[in-house]
Structure 1
């Protein structure tokens, strides 16, 4: 039977033209533009991938796949992108009452950032992102662009970074810079390309290392500069930013020139040396991207929104050992993301009563608000448990989590779908927004 566990609560979900929805009810578009092979095991094998217990030791990620199949990777992935997320999926998301999607993206979406001598990823994803955003916009569904897989890899041993490895190199000046360039490019495209008109937020980093002692410089080099980079781009494009302005007027109507002029001529707290360097590199890349997306270059005809984007981060309580507070980085609208999966342990004892007691007494919204991390949404959660859950419990578990997370700004379920195949087995029962339970 099918269980539409989200339908009733969402019937009155509202959608606004810009900014954060009044309440976020959404799904992640996982394994679309950042593929996690555990979610589509049969398709991955059909593509030419492999399965293994240690994902760093076989073709289990995009990096390994592109390295193994350099001549065909673009064609194979383009087929995956075209079929994994379709108009039918948009229709189902809309019919279920969702008003938001969170779209995991890799840094390689901006192809000029990839060192093709040492890094291996498919090309063409940004065209698929444009296609998907166009479909979502037409359906009235808003989007968060989530920088899910960072240059150099931000977390060890995870498929979601695009490369399963213990060699974590994101926390370096070189890769911090590349992340800021990616931010500048994506912020500019979001404001300029009409198909990106439903995007209300860009998320800086998905699931950084939880131990803050291992993320040197993250607060200043990423959090502070991420927000300043977004706001600097907006100022260059003529978008008002609360409490900030350019040092001099920009006369050109060419948006890449405007960004370069702003980087070269502006002073003040927003235009730090790191931000200026990111803008200058982004300006040259944007020439290439604008051609790829068939955008043109005339700022006066392209700019479709003068509302600043919502910058967003994993919340302060994602990390421990004296983390930097992302609230300190805020300039203009900002939101905070928390992820909660009981199945990984450390939250509640492995039985139904303990799970329900825990979720019904969850205080994360209040704890975050006390530290300035508000509005808070739960950008990833699911139904997997550490015990053999009954169908009846899964109904209760879904409703209890929705209620708890709705104390904040709302929630985004992981995932909009997983593969339905013999190899996937029972995977969809707890990871798919529309649960298919076979008994």
Structure 2
């Protein structure tokens, strides 16, 4: 631990800023840094990699499967990937394209103490690359959402993005909820104390949980504890949290020592037993990682309530301080023709439906130009415009993904043209100014774009 951490003076005079002023852009134009610190093999088609991406259980397709197969070389192999998949050159390109936000998918294993070795295997060393990338983005003026994309125990079956392609879904258990809360405490602390994390304005609790809420027992309690964990870290730092009557009292004897103060906070009865335990477990991890600075309240970010059905918990009910909501839209069932797609986007219900349930502001954290038919270039120009316009009526949008590797296995740029923002920019589907449209007079339902279909 750096010496400065032990001597950190808790700042009680911070003026907390509300959601709209907590460091994030007033309107989000963003991309995901997918397949960087959480691998998704389908975006990395190489000649020596298997091509059966549809069934991730039949090949080495995730961090976990690779670490089990190659325990002696996994760290070096992934270090090379982390070093080359996202670079300073990419940041410069994104900045030139007007991107002001990135969402960074992370696995729980980036906090290495949380991995139950040897029963769990993942590459080590990712935190150093995250710090480096955050520094690049900060220098470029690009803000960041840290997305807990792959959770302990796996949150969804048979998905590469969980880091372990399995049908044995165990996230929705007290033990793994607890590990996710420790991860949250560590990331919240780094976001306030580490200068490389200064441009982090939000932490997302869980990427794409199971849609059926009946299969996610106590997920609502986890949401409540997630918010409490972030706010407990902030209150320990003396950061005032808006719209909150919570407070903690740190004794003078530990007021200059953050980790000692956090231990004291962990006994505060205003927090649940699960949060108290997570804070206490996070302390030695924070001491090993080290950190050095402070900030303003983070935005607690959740998948919106309409992501689930079957009596889901409403994350709006657990809000303490600034909070925002995320929805992901991929049009796999919108029909198989351009007209059906345009009708679907013209009648987009999510923003109003979410607002009615308190899930506002809402951004669209994943979307693409992918279609279930052979789309022409002309349609993709229109499809990009239509989606950008629809999602901009909320807090903004974050495209999936910033890039897709091209190779002969994917018929050149065939996949990348619909999934890579940088490829779409090169092909002209996206305007150089992300706030602009090909048709400056676009009206999604009644204007030229729809009339031409």
Q: Is 1:107 equivalent to 2:95 in the alignment?
A: no
SS of the aligned residue for 1:379 comes to strand
1:70-89 aligned at under 5 Å gives the runs 70-89=71-90
In structure 2, distance between residues paired with 1:385 and 1:249: 59
1:375 corresponds to: 361
Aligned length: 402
Relative to 1, partners in 2 of residues 1:25 and 1:382: Cα closer, same or farther, differing over 3 Å? Answer: same
1:256 corresponds to: 259
Relative to 1, partners in 2 of residues 1:363 and 1:182: Cα closer, same or farther, differing over 3 Å? Answer: same
1:393 corresponds to: 379
In structure 2, distance between residues paired with 1:44 and 1:383: 28
Offset from partner CA, 1:58-91 (integer Å, 9 cap, x none)? 2111100011111110011001001000001001
Offset from partner CA, 1:97-145 (integer Å, 9 cap, x none)? 0100000000000000001111110000010000000000000000000
1:325 corresponds to: 314
2:417 corresponds to: 429
1:25 corresponds to: 29
> Which deviates the most, 166-175 or 353-362?
353-362
In structure 1, distance between residues paired with 2:417 and 2:284: 46
Contact 2:47–2:409, Cα closer than 8 Å, also in 1 = no
> Which deviates the most, 354-363 or 330-339?
354-363
> Which deviates the most, 92-101 or 235-244?
235-244
> By how many angstroms is 1:247 displaced?
3.8
> By how many angstroms is 1:19 displaced?
3.0
In structure 1, distance between residues paired with 2:204 and 2:47: 29
2:248 corresponds to: 246
Relative to 1, partners in 2 of residues 1:85 and 1:20: Cα closer, same or farther, differing over 3 Å? Answer: same
Relative to 1, partners in 2 of residues 1:62 and 1:149: Cα closer, same or farther, differing over 3 Å? Answer: same
> By how many angstroms is 1:51 displaced?
4.4
Relative to 1, partners in 2 of residues 1:437 and 1:247: Cα closer, same or farther, differing over 3 Å? Answer: closer
Q: Which runs of 5+ in 1 are unaligned?
A: 1-15, 296-301
2:300 corresponds to: 311
RMSD: 1.6
> Which deviates the most, 371-380 or 35-44?
35-44
**Superposition TM-score, scaled by structure 1 size:** 0.89
1:64 corresponds to: 65
1:299 corresponds to: none
SS of the aligned residue for 1:170 comes to coil
In structure 2, distance between residues paired with 1:304 and 1:337: 26
In structure 1, distance between residues paired with 2:138 and 2:355: 31
> By how many angstroms is 1:20 displaced?
3.0
> By how many angstroms is 1:207 displaced?
0.1
In structure 2, distance between residues paired with 1:338 and 1:433: 18
Contact 1:184–1:229, Cα closer than 8 Å, also in 2 = yes
SS of the aligned residue for 1:259 comes to helix
2:231 corresponds to: 231
SS of the aligned residue for 2:325 comes to strand
SS of the aligned residue for 1:288 comes to helix
Q: Is 1:417 equivalent to 2:403 in the alignment?
A: yes
Instruction: Choose from 310, 326, 341 the match for 1:355.
Output: 341
In structure 1, distance between residues paired with 2:144 and 2:47: 26
Relative to 1, partners in 2 of residues 1:205 and 1:227: Cα closer, same or farther, differing over 3 Å? Answer: same
Q: Which runs of 5+ in 2 are unaligned?
A: 1-19, 429-453
In structure 2, distance between residues paired with 1:304 and 1:151: 28
Contact 2:250–2:264, Cα closer than 8 Å, also in 1 = no
Contact 2:181–2:225, Cα closer than 8 Å, also in 1 = yes
SS of the aligned residue for 1:253 comes to coil
> By how many angstroms is 1:422 displaced?
1.2
1:31-430 aligned at under 5 Å gives the runs 31-42=35-46, 45=49, 51=52, 53-220=54-221, 222-242=222-242, 243-249=245-251, 251-264=254-267, 266-268=268-270, 271-290=271-290, 295=291, 302-305=292-295, 307-342=296-331, 344-345=332-333, 348-425=334-411, 426-430=414-418
